[in-house]
């Protein structure tokens, strides 16, 4: 059942995400213009173009990101008696890593660099990496392989790390790690993931009865909203808005399915 829901959610979002749906609307509008349905075609093109312009000029992605990123503070200084550190995958580009034979990362590399830094600070703790593959058609390319290569390059012995390479989403990240390490009540485990992803992640861990110490990284905003018009250097703002909308939908979806402890988890 979980696999069916996972596939449905992936297919739905591929079609419903703003960047894809706006492209589809534009394409349909252009086709209608070409085939003589000019009135409807102009309307579709005008609507899609207006939305893209608004996404580009207004700080919509920041407005949606800031509540997520500000939800949990950075927990420094950390307690001295840390039992373990967990990092969730999401910084890796597994297909490029496999194809080129060297580490390929995307814009969330802070997850891995912070993990390595804490591994050097807490030599007696356990260290866990959770990251498989979230794409339906690329299951043979695992993020854990990229992470292992990265840790080797950074001087962290991969044998110190417990790897979960089978998880496909945040829910499976938490479930698989829980089975691997079997945390005891009262233990102190640090959870590293992107700040915007932390509320949903904490909610999943809490649902399992595992109260972790959230360590947010990979911030995309300063934490304060700047209400200014701007001209972006590239046409990436629609994708940025799509990503943060996905996270808000994910929070709601996980809560409706009972996967998280609350709708918008915050500090305990």
Q: What is the pLDDT of residues 116-144, one digit of tens each?
A: 999 999 999 999 999 988 676 667 788 99
10 Å CB burial of residue 15 (0-12, 13-18, 19+) is exposed
User: CA–CA separation, 204 vs 177, rounded Å?
Assistant: 12
Name the residue among 56, 58, 66 with its Cα closest to residue 225. Answer: 66
The pLDDT score that the predictor gives to residue 231 is 61
Name the residue among 103, 74, 109, 75 with its Cα closest to residue 89. Answer: 109
The pLDDT score that the predictor gives to residue 88 is 97
Contact between 188 and 82 (Cβ < 8 Å)? yes
Phi/psi of residue 11, nearest 5 degrees: -65, -45
The pLDDT-based confidence of 20 (bands split at 50, 70, 90) is confident
Least trusted range by pLDDT, from 16-20, 149-153, 178-182: 16-20
Q: Say how many C-beta atoms besides its own lie within 10 A of residue 210's C-beta.
A: 19
Contacts of 235 (CB under 8 A, 6+ apart): 56
The mean pLDDT value of the chain amounts to 90
Domains identified in the chain and CATH numbers? 2-68+231-256 (no CATH), 74-217 (3.40.50.620)
pLDDT tens per residue, range 48-100 = 999 888 888 888 889 999 999 999 999 999 999 999 999 999 999 999 999 99
CA 82-87-93 angle, to 5 degrees, is 160
The pLDDT score that the predictor gives to residue 122 is 95
Q: At what angle do helices 143-153 and 110-121 cross, to 10 degrees?
A: 50
Contact between 183 and 76 (Cβ < 8 Å)? no
What does pTM read for this prediction?
Answer: 0.89
| Token pair recorded at residue 73 | 């503070």
The pLDDT score that the predictor gives to residue 235 is 52
Question: Can you tell me whether residue 239 is helix, strand or coil?
Answer: helix
């Amino acid at each position: 059942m979980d696999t069916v829901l996972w596939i449905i959610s992936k297919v739905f979002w591929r079609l419903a995400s703003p960047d894809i749906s706006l492209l589809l609307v534009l394409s349909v509008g252009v086709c209608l213009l070409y085939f003589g349905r000019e009135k409807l075609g102009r309307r579709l093109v005008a609507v899609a173009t207006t939305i893209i312009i608004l996404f580009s000029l207004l700080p919509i992605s920041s407005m949606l990101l800031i509540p997520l990123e500000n939800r949990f503070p950075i927990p420094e200084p950390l307690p001295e008696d840390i039992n373990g550190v967990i990092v969730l995958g999401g910084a890796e580009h597994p297909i490029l890593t496999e194809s080129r034979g060297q580490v390929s990362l995307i814009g969330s590399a802070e997850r891995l660099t912070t993990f390595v830094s804490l591994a050097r600070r807490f030599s007696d703790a356990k260290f866990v990496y959770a990251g498989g593959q979230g794409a339906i058609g690329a299951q043979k390319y695992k993020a854990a392989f990229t992470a292992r290569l990265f840790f080797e390059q950074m001087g962290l012995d991969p044998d110190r790390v417990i790897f979960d390479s089978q998880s496909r989403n945040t829910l499976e990240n938490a479930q698989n790690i829980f089975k691997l390490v079997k945390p005891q009540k009262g233990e102190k485990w640090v959870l590293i993931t992107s700040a915007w992803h932390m509320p949903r992640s904490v909610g999943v861990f809490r649902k399992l009865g595992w109260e972790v110490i959230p360590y947010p990284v990979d911030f995309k905003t300063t934490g304060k909203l700047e209400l200014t018009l701007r001209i972006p250097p590239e046409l990436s703002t629609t994708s940025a808005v799509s990503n943060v909308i996905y996270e808000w939908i994910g929070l709601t979806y996980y809560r409706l399915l009972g996967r998280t402890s609350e709708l918008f988890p915050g500090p305990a």
